[in-house]
Structure 1
Amino acid sequence: MIKLNDLTLKYDNSIVLKNINITFQKNEIVGLIGKSGSGKTTLLKALFDFDIVKSGKVTYNSTLINNKVSKKEILEYKNKISYIQDGINLIENLDFFKNVQLFYKKYKNWFYKNFKIFTKKQKEEIFDLCSYFELTDLIFTPINKLSTGQKQRFSLIINLINNTEILLGDEITSNLDYINSQKVYEYLQELKKEKIIILSIHNLNDAIKYTDKIIAIKNHEIKSIYLKENYNIKELMDYFD
């Protein structure tokens, strides 16, 4: 469980968000909505970039997390997080498989990590995810030869393979077509029982269909928190460009 208490977030001495009080827990997908520049991305980053937290508390399972705790504690916490951006964070001149070898966090031991070796089970998980997202034929194709949508799916797969407890997504379907967007959200539905999942979402229909809770941001604050059974489409539309 992650709790934010009386959080104020700043960039360059300008307040981006204030009076943030919210709890995130497993078994729910939380959607962040708000017009461009409202602070959705900032709220996601506040969960791991404590330089932007000017006041208030971030706690994880009742443990205070900030820049004052030990580097070991911060590293252990950050290793529980995957942050997926709308941009593509892959090395362009390498193929997907080599990218996975570089960014993978769950190697069996130091020997496997040093030589970038996957166990049989890990390799199966990688290929199963590629099959689900219909990318098997492109695993050994250089990233710079792929379409934007293919790159984004591969970028997403790397974060999913790392199997972290906390999954943060910043408009993760922005470069995907309808079918692949639905595949992403349906896969996340299968994961939510074991993870804290928080997504900034740019599509109202996706927010309504796939989230369990919606946090609506406006004028530097959380204006409303909606539970799925109380979603009001007319009100929610006001938070989209």
Structure 2
Amino acid sequence: MIVLKDISVKNIGQKENILTNINLNFYPNQFVAIIGKSGVGKTTLLNTLCLNVVITHGCIEYKTFLFDKNTRKKLKNYRKKIGIISQNSTLINEISVFDNLKIYLSNENNLFYKLFNIITKEQKSKIFNVLEQLNILDKVFYKPLDLSGGESQRVEIAKILLKKPEIILADEPTSNLDINNSLLTIKLLKEVATKENSIVLINLHDTKLLNDNFDRVIGIKNRSIMLNKEPKKITKKDLRDLYE
């Protein structure tokens, strides 16, 4: 479980807090949507969880880790447990899908393997197995520029499956996708959460994507948590109050 206790944060170099007095708990195998108008702090909440902000008050607890404004010990080890999916592709267009994933995996190995971009036979098999699971094995030697938006996003999810993180943070991963690929992306991430017992948080720009896949929906407004409910309990008034 991740616990945010009375947390207030600001971005590096800024004077004012972006989020104030946030109290939230996130549990393994939990699939959470974060909604709200642009600029309210949805991305900041994700950045808070991976400690890319300045904590001005409160603390974050996760297993043996504790972070507050005075300590960032064991931060590198904590971040190894996190997988991040952004709205912008992180793939290298000049090389194949396989080579993109190979580089990603070699970074997890020792210095020699990392330096020469070498992976083990087991890791090579994992790449093919994950791509087959995502129904894009036939694209393994394609370059990212030759993929559709939905296929590129599935390669990003492949990275997550290969790393098997305990915490997955997805910053508007559906913003550049059509409705069908958006729903597919959400479904795939839900499957990851279930299979790997991960905590998954997804920033959503489109409330139409809220569905039964999500266990909770968190709404941010005026630097605070205004909404924290199961999707089926959210009313039209809740959404109107959040976005007005």
CA–CA distance in structure 2, aligned partners of residues 216 and 179 of structure 1: 24
1:237 deviates by 4.8
Determine helix, strand or coil for the equivalent of 1:211: coil
Residue 226 of structure 1 is matched in structure 2 by 229
Question: 1:161-205 CA distances to partner (integer Å, 9 max, x unpaired)?
Answer: 211111011111222223322222222222324101111112213
Give 1:151 shift: 2.7
Q: How does 1:106-185 map to 2 (within 5 A)?
A: 115-120=117-122, 122-185=123-186
Give the gaps of 5 or more residues in structure 1: none
Following the alignment from structure 1 to structure 2, what is the Cα–Cα distance between the partners of residues 91 and 56?
38
Q: What is the one-letter code of the residue matched to 1:5?
A: K
**1:208 aligned residue (207, 211, 231):** 211
Report if the CA contact (8 A) 1:202-1:240 is conserved. no
Q: Does 1:53 align with 2:55?
A: yes
Give the root-mean-square deviation of aligned CA atoms: 2.5
User: Letter of the aligned partner of 2:208 in structure 1?
Assistant: N
The number of residue pairs the alignment matches comes to 238
The superposition leaves residues 183-229 of structure 1 with CA deviations (integer Å, 9 ceiling, x where unpaired) of: 22222222324101111112213223321111110011111211245
User: Do the aligned residues in 1 keep the contact of 2:105 with 2:119 (CA within 8 Å)?
Assistant: no
Q: Which stretch shows the higher mean deviation, 225-234 or 159-168?
A: 225-234
Give the CA deviation at 1:5.
0.8
Counterpart residue identity of residue 79, structure 2: K
TM-score by length of 2: 0.85
In 2, Cα distance between equivalents of 1:198 and 1:3: 14
Contact 1:107 1:117 in 2 (8 A): no
Superposed displacement of residue 115, structure 1: 5.0
Q: Which residue of 1 aligns with 2:5?
A: 5
Alignment-derived partner of residue 23 in structure 2 = 21
CA contact (8 A) 2:7 2:58 kept: yes
Q: Which residue of 2 aligns with 1:97?
A: 98
Q: Which runs of 5+ in 2 are unaligned?
A: none
Give the SS at the match of 1:209.
coil
Say whether the 8 Å CA contact 2:227–2:238 is kept in structure 1: no
Match of 2:75 in 1: 74
**Structure 1 length as normaliser, TM-score?**
0.86
For residues 29-75 of structure 1, give each alpha carbon's deviation from its aligned partner in whole angstroms, at most 9, with x where no partner exists.
111110111100000001112542222101112531357243xx211
CA contact (8 A) 1:204 1:240 kept: no
